[in-house]
Amino acid sequence: MAVDFNALAKDWDLDPEKVERAKVTAELIEKRATVTKETTALEYGCGTGQVSFFLQPKLKEITLADDSEGMLEVLRDKIKSAGVDNMKTLMADFSKDALPNEKYDLIYISMTLHHIIDADSVLRAFHSLLKPGGSLCIADFDKDDGSFHANHEGFEGHHGFERKELSDMLSKTGFKDAKFEECFKIMKEVDGKEREFPVFFVHCTRA
């Protein structure tokens, strides 16, 4: 049993901290990757599209993929309300579904990779979907002792990633020049004490 993101979708955007974290992530994507009106992008595990709405005015087109119909339903309503014509949704799980026919200049994934048990298969999918020289950007948890998700019923996945481990995974998949930096920190109470959980940002290039 995995986390039920369909049930969480309706209230997802009500948390201002999530919105602020999405803004910080979008700013790093814009700083490290090529983001222009000629850039075609894919956001995987997009949720309600928080990161992409910050990037939307600066990109040619964004495909927003997720395997939660509830999240995509909220996202489609947001796209319609915003009146934008360069965002489209895709219901997909790249660890098992057929991949889109398109090739992209930029792929980004924020706070999603740790939920994917077979992370290697998704990284391989990203490599297949990127044009040569295209950018992959990932924001996710640094490895922790399991405390962050200890009370998350149904959590299946990784308790963050060791940066060296993820760098090796990216290299083996065909990415190069992986550069890590701090993205933001999430504060959470664990066993009655406030704990800090750092999140990294990594940019790499399809070889």
Tens of pLDDT, residue by residue, the chain (207 residues): 355 555 555 655 678 899 999 999 999 999 999 999 999 999 999 999 999 999 999 999 999 999 999 999 999 999 999 999 999 999 999 999 999 999 999 999 999 999 999 999 999 999 999 999 999 999 999 998 767 766 666 667 778 999 999 999 999 999 999 999 999 999 988 888 889 999 999 999 999
- Show the beta-strand stretches assigned E in 55-174: 61-66, 87-91, 104-110, 130-141
Bridge partners of residue 194, in order along the sequence: 189
Tell me the residue type at 110. S
User: Of 187, 207, 166, 189, whose CA–CA distance to 198 is shortest?
Assistant: 187
Cα distance between residue 21 and residue 205, in whole Å: 23
Domain positions in the chain are 5-134+149-177+185-206
pTM beyond cutoff 0.85: yes
pLDDT computed for residue 154 by the predictor = 67
pLDDT computed for residue 1 by the predictor = 37
pLDDT computed for residue 17 by the predictor = 92
Q: Report the CATH number of the 5-134+149-177+185-206 domain.
A: 3.40.50.150
19 neighbors 13 (Cβ within 8 angstroms): yes
List C-alpha distances in Å: 205 to 33, 61, 138.
9, 20, 12
